[in-house]
Amino acid sequence: MLRRLTVRDFVIVDRLDLEFGEGFGALTGETGAGKSILLDALGLALGGRGDAAMVRSGCERADISAEFDLSGCEGLRDWLSGQDIPVDDDTLLLRRTIDSSGRSRAWISGVPATLAQLREAGDWLADIHGQHAHHALLRGETQRALLDAQAGAGRLAAEVGQAWRAWQDALARREAAERDAHASERERDLLAWQIEEFDRLGFDREEWERLQAEQGRLAHAAGLMEGADEALNLIGDEELSALPLLRRVEARLHEMASVDPQLAETGALVAEAVIQADEALHALRRYRERLDPDPQRLAEIDQRIGAVTDLARKHRVAPEDLADQRQRWAEALSALEARSDPQRLAEQEGQARDRYRKLAAQLSDLRRPAAERLSREVSEAMQNLAMAGGKFEVSLESLVEGAAHGSEDVTFCVAANPNQPLRPLAKVASGGELSRIGLAIQVMTSRNVATPTLIFDEVDVGIGGAVAEIVGRMLHRLGRDRQVLCVTHLPQVAACADWQWSISKRTRGAGVVSEVTLLDTQGRIDEIARMLGGVELTETTRRHAMEMIGSATQG
């Protein structure tokens, strides 16, 4: 449950440090005092959307921290472990900041986190029902998601959606293959001919490198022969060439070294030069012997290079890239053949269809009992919300071919009065009826989830009198099993709370700030009296407030 909320420089809140208790807590105060702002701040800490407008005027950043007790949240502990976020005890701290430029940062127990991680952690910890939740219930996707949440089928519903899209993709591929069969055949023939043309050439990248090297040698054979002959003459094949001269120098230095040993090192260098020159001479002779200006071989190589170049130019690739192009043709042909195989495509479509129908059937099996249970519970709640004889039903209408959301449409239907036919909620509920039915749905669905903290933000709008008292008692009963927070303007609801905060605003300097006060018994009496009678508190309104609190306590 939520233990503590710390808010700094958020909208009209400058600094608040709030500690939360167990059970049902009511947040009351004048309109505009900042009641919903506190829940907005908590929503931000739980990963909600934020922007620079949330930063209090004149401040650098808004900073919100929410501390939760993890007792009993084993699923969340496992998730945190999977995210490499340590939890040393039963305390988890969520923190969020937004600076004046709109940049947002988040942490989970001091570890930097993404907003997606913050939202996922928040989903385990708190469930917020906003002011406009009743109107959201009019949308089919909201009704379906709520039923799936009650059935514990959220993940399965997502898998059904994925399976549906996979089936539709397979269906589209088969239909496209049938529709484009003639064009595909022409494309297959062209690819096959291109591959055959390449294979007839029998070319590879290594051969291209060898051909170019050999062509270079043959094309310059005369110049290479002349250069090799000149080098042989200069090194060792004439009397005044390098090698005989070096040998004479070597012999002379050897004689001199016998007189002056300092010349031994120089002599050794010259001796090494003699060895190197001799080896170079033998290598040049071998090279010269191999040189043969073979015009026929040069013509063959030129012809081969011309064939490769022509094919490369034809397909607008470099010669060394022809092999890669052939691989691309082969892959394209393989993919085209796979897309153009009616039997194979039909088999893939059938497999995708069967998987979808299997998952959709499992989803239906979870939805049916959940729909019956929710219909019964909300109908029972309606009897106490000034709709005696009314009925609520979750209608599951089968779809022959199915849809992305499953094998049935989910529709919330209602008959607000006896002897009225059930009709879709979006078509028959008035504003007041929608508020009451929506509240019943929210309370009933919240009762069936494991979230430790439930938050209701002015969800009791549009009701009053005895119905408001019943709503307060419903929330009080919810508070026996978990923590319940409710922003309310109704004294009947507030009177049923286990504890109550009064939220007010006051002028500070040039601005307005929000303040929160935890009310004691007398403070609660005065606050509920104010909610009953306005600004002027009288003994009559105070007595009435005391009676309401006493009645709620006894109830």
Q: What is the DSSP string of 197-258?
A: HHHHHT--HHHHHHHHHHHHHHHTHHHHHHHHHHHHIIIIISTTSHHHHHHHHHHHHHHHHH
189/327 Cα distance (integer angstroms): 16
The stretch 237-249 carries a mean pLDDT of 80
The stretch 26-32 carries a mean pLDDT of 81
| Beta-bridge partners for 507 | 512
457's tokens: 């933000």
Residue 409 main-chain phi, psi, to 5 deg: -85, 140
Residue 459 CB neighbour total at 10 angstroms: 25
- Return the closest-CA partner of residue 211 out of 302, 299, 323, 309: 302
For residue 55, is it left (φ>0), alpha (ψ between -120 and 50) or beta? Answer: beta
User: How far is Cα of residue 295 from the mean position of the Cα atoms in its chain?
Assistant: 68
Confidence of residue 361 (pLDDT cuts 50, 70, 90): very high
- Residue 467: partners with Cβ closer than 8 Å, 6 or more residues away: 384, 385, 386, 436
Better-scored residue on pLDDT, 392 or 381 = 392
**Identity of residue 189:** D
The stretch 200-222 carries a mean pLDDT of 70
Percentage of the chain surpassing pLDDT 90? 24
| Beta-bridge partners for 93 | 67
Residue 345 main-chain phi, psi, to 5 deg: -65, -40
Confidence of residue 287 (pLDDT cuts 50, 70, 90): confident
For residue 18, is it left (φ>0), alpha (ψ between -120 and 50) or beta? Answer: beta
Tokens 């607008």 label which residue?
Answer: 316
Burial class of residue 387, CB neighbours in 10 A (0-12, 13-18, 19+):
buried
Taking only the tens place, the pLDDT of each residue in 94-112 is 999 999 998 999 999 999 9
pLDDT score of 129: 75
**DSSP-derived secondary structure letter, 292:** -
pLDDT score of 294: 64
Taking only the tens place, the pLDDT of each residue in 428-483 is 756 667 777 877 787 777 766 667 888 888 766 667 777 888 888 888 888 888 89
Tokens 């607000």 label which residue?
Answer: 416
The dihedral sign for the CA sequence 224, 228, 234, 239:
negative
- Return the closest-CA partner of residue 394 out of 419, 416, 418, 369: 369
User: Taking all residues of the chain, what is their mean pLDDT, rounded to a whole number?
Assistant: 83
- Residue 447: partners with Cβ closer than 8 Å, 6 or more residues away: 377, 478, 481
360/526 Cα distance (integer angstroms): 56
pLDDT score of 472: 87
Q: Is the pLDDT of residue 354 over 90?
A: yes
pLDDT score of 132: 58
pLDDT score of 219: 60
Q: Is the pLDDT of residue 139 over 80?
A: yes
Domains and CATH numbers, the chain: 1-128+483-519 (3.40.50.300), 185-338 (no CATH), 521-555 (no CATH)
Percentage of the chain surpassing pLDDT 70? 87
- Residue 191: partners with Cβ closer than 8 Å, 6 or more residues away: 329, 332, 333, 336
Tokens 């993890």 label which residue?
Answer: 70
pLDDT score of 497: 92
The stretch 273-298 carries a mean pLDDT of 79
- Return the closest-CA partner of residue 100 out of 63, 65, 52, 35: 52
Are the C-beta atoms of 211 and 305 separated by less than 8 Å? yes
Q: Is the pLDDT of residue 279 over 80?
A: yes
pLDDT score of 106: 93
- Residue 450: partners with Cβ closer than 8 Å, 6 or more residues away: 75
- Return the closest-CA partner of residue 527 out of 499, 507, 551, 508: 499
- Return the closest-CA partner of residue 1 out of 17, 31, 30, 25: 25
123/155 Cα distance (integer angstroms): 14
Highest mean pLDDT among 88-102, 182-196, 217-231, 437-451: 88-102
Taking only the tens place, the pLDDT of each residue in 59-78 is 999 999 999 998 877 888 88
Radius of gyration of the chain (CA): 43
The stretch 42-67 carries a mean pLDDT of 91
Q: Is the pLDDT of residue 404 over 70?
A: yes
Are the C-beta atoms of 70 and 44 separated by less than 8 Å? no
Q: Is the pLDDT of residue 216 over 70?
A: no
Taking only the tens place, the pLDDT of each residue in 142-171 is 889 889 988 989 889 999 999 999 999 998
Are the C-beta atoms of 552 and 476 separated by less than 8 Å? yes
The stretch 258-283 carries a mean pLDDT of 88
Integer CA distances (angstroms), 287 to 210, 214, 280, 284, 290, in order: 18, 14, 10, 5, 5
Q: What is the 3-state secondary structure (H, E, C) of 318-364?
A: CHHHHHHHHHHHHHHHHHHHHHCCHHHHHHHHHHHHHHHHHHHHHHH
Better-scored residue on pLDDT, 167 or 510 = 167
What b/e sequence results for 353-380 when a residue is b if at least 16 CB atoms lie within 10 Å of its CB, and e otherwise? bebbbebbeebbebbeebbeebbebbbe
The stretch 299-304 carries a mean pLDDT of 76
Q: Is the pLDDT of residue 375 over 90?
A: yes
Q: Is the pLDDT of residue 225 over 70?
A: no
Residue 315 CB neighbour total at 10 angstroms: 14
